[in-house]
Amino acid sequence: MVAETTRIYPGKKVDLHTHIGSFGGWANVSCTDDELVKSMRYYNVEKSAVYFTDNELVRRAVQKYPDELVGCYWPNPHDKDAAERVRIALTDWGFKGVKLHPLFQAFLPNDRIVHPIVEEARRARVPVLIHTGHAPFSLPWSVGELADSFPDVKIVMLHMGNGHGVYMEAAINVAKNMDNLYLETSRMPNGSKIREAMNVVGKDRVMYGTDIPFGDPVVEIVKGTALGMSEEENKLYFYSNAKSLLNI
Which spans of this chain sit near Zn ion (rule: CB under 5 A)? Answer: 211
> What is the closest distance, in whole angstroms, from the C-beta atom of residue 1 to Zn ion in the complex?
30
User: Distance (Å, rounded) from C-alpha 235 to C-alpha 192?
Assistant: 18
Pairs from 222-225 (Cβ < 8 Å, separation ≥ 24): 222/8, 223/185, 223/189, 223/191, 223/194, 224/9, 224/185, 224/194, 225/3, 225/7, 225/8, 225/9
Residue nearest to Zn ion (CB): 211
Report the residue number, 129 or 229, with the smaller CB distance to Zn ion: 129
> C-beta of 212: minimal distance to Zn ion in Å?
8
- Provide the β-strand partners of residue 166: none
State which amino acid sits at residue 147: A
Distance CA 38, CA 151 (A): 37
Task: Please identify, using beta-carbon distances, which residue of 23 and 93 lies nearer to Zn ion.
Answer: 23
Cβ proximity to Zn ion, 211 vs 220, nearer residue: 211
Query: What is the distance, to the nearest Å, from the Cα of residue 36 to the centroid of all Cα atoms in its chain?
Result: 16
Provide, rounded to whole angstroms, the least separation between the CB of residue 19 and Zn ion: 6
- Give least dist CB 74 to Zn ion, A: 10
Shortest distance in whole angstroms from residue 48 CB to Zn ion: 12
> What amino acid occupies position 10?
P
Instruction: Please identify, using beta-carbon distances, which residue of 101 and 205 lies nearer to Zn ion.
Output: 101
At 157, phi and psi to the nearest 5?
A: -90, 100
Nearer to Zn ion (CB atom), residue 186 or residue 234: 186
